[in-house]
Amino acid sequence: MSEILFLDGPRTRAALDPHRVIDATATALIAIARSEVSAPPRIAARAPDGLLGAMPGYVPGLGLGAKLVSVFADRAAPGRSSHRGLVALFDETDGRPLALMDAGPLTEVRTAVTATLGARALARPRPSRVAVIGTGAQARAQIGLLAALDPATPVVVAGRDPLRARETAALHPAARVGAGIEEAVRGADRVFCCTGAVQPVVRRAWLDPGAHVSSVGGSHGPELDADTVRDAVLFAEWPGAATTRPPSGSHEFQDLPSDRPVTLLGSVLAGDHPGRRDADEITLFKSTGHAALDIAAAHVAYTVATARGWGTRMEM
């Protein structure tokens, strides 16, 4: 009999120390860029009203695991979707199951961390204003991380629901609600797109020279217009963001011309690529998610929870 640690949603969230997740996620991104990760493209089984996605992966030094996540339309909120799932972590030396945890907070935190690493590596230093587009769970996770890491830089939040925008902005001491998405984006040094868009919500004409965009939403369609993609220097977590079809690949990066490079963020973090080349170019990091990032976050949650005696131990 083997023992497994179960972490519910609150314990999973509490165990995801943001600084440790940042370090582990950077390690995972570098490992992806250096082809040290074993992770097949995600697959999905489709039901009439949604899908169940599977993302197994192995990252040396961080672990072996898999995420199962369902994506279904939210019947109580037309136009929105719900994401529910679990992450299983295994011992990388003998295959024993070690932990089972809530995929919701884990995905939110590791996605916000990845977007923030993209901004840190590619944006100009010392931003004067940040825009967060979206008001759902991922936007709130992004605002929460920004508040923890940089509570002084002004943030403008914009979304289609004014009440939810106010609730999201309230999570950051220097945030306000924008009059609209265009107003939030214009003048922002860094733009975080965290929406469930089915068509572009950010347009090239609104972006200042030198702006950086981290786009993590758009599972069902593009968050950014074609002009933004055309004019930006492109970055992603893994090559499949441009070479595989959604849901594993990015809507924005489909059918790029053969001469349009997409640089891996891990190559920039490792110092193997310079990233931003001048102060005026627009940089775009598109996050589609990757199993290695789930493994990185699960490793942190398991390590912290074990050290603090959190969770429930169960016999398998």
Yes or no: say if 31 and 290 are a contact pair by the CB < 8 Å rule.
no
Question: What is the pLDDT tens value at each position of the chain, 316 positions in all?
Answer: 689 999 999 999 999 999 999 999 999 999 999 999 999 978 889 999 898 999 999 999 999 999 999 988 777 766 566 789 999 999 999 999 999 999 999 999 999 999 999 999 999 999 999 999 999 999 999 999 999 999 999 999 999 999 999 999 999 999 999 999 999 999 999 999 999 898 999 999 999 999 999 999 877 899 999 999 999 999 999 999 999 988 789 999 999 999 999 999 999 999 999 999 999 999 999 999 999 999 999 999 999 999 999 999 998 8
pTM assigned to the model: 0.94
Yes or no: say if 13 and 110 are a contact pair by the CB < 8 Å rule.
no
Q: Look up the CATH number of domain 3-106+291-315.
A: 3.30.1780.10
The CA distance from 163 to 46, in Å, is 33
**Where are the domain boundaries for CATH 3.30.1780.10 in the chain?**
3-106+291-315
The CA distance from 145 to 117, in Å, is 11
For residue 103, what pLDDT is reported?
Answer: 97
Which 8-state DSSP code applies to residue 223? S
For residue 81, what pLDDT is reported?
Answer: 65
The CA distance from 263 to 234, in Å, is 6
Whether a cis peptide bond, with omega within 30° of 0, leads into 247 is: yes
What does DSSP say about strands 50-59 and 283-286: parallel, antiparallel, or unpaired?
unpaired
Q: Could you tell me where the beta strands, DSSP code E, fall in 127-261?
A: 130-133, 155-158, 175-177, 190-193, 212-215, 233-236
For residue 41, what pLDDT is reported?
Answer: 79
Q: Which residues pair with 133 in a beta bridge?
A: 158, 193
The CA distance from 276 to 290, in Å, is 23
Yes or no: say if 9 and 314 are a contact pair by the CB < 8 Å rule.
no
The CA distance from 308 to 15, in Å, is 9
**Where are the domain boundaries for CATH 3.40.50.720 in the chain?**
112-286
* Tokens read off for 269: 């973090």
Label residue 163 exposed, middle or buried (CB < 10 Å: 0-12, 13-18, 19+).
exposed
155: how many CB neighbours lie within 10 A of its CB?
28
The CATH homologous superfamily to which domain 112-286 belongs is NAD(P)-binding Rossmann-like Domain (3.40.50.720)
Yes or no: say if 100 and 158 are a contact pair by the CB < 8 Å rule.
no
Contacts of 265 (CB under 8 A, 6+ apart): 29, 33, 114, 117, 118, 121, 122, 235, 236, 237, 285
For residue 72, what pLDDT is reported?
Answer: 87
The CA distance from 202 to 242, in Å, is 20
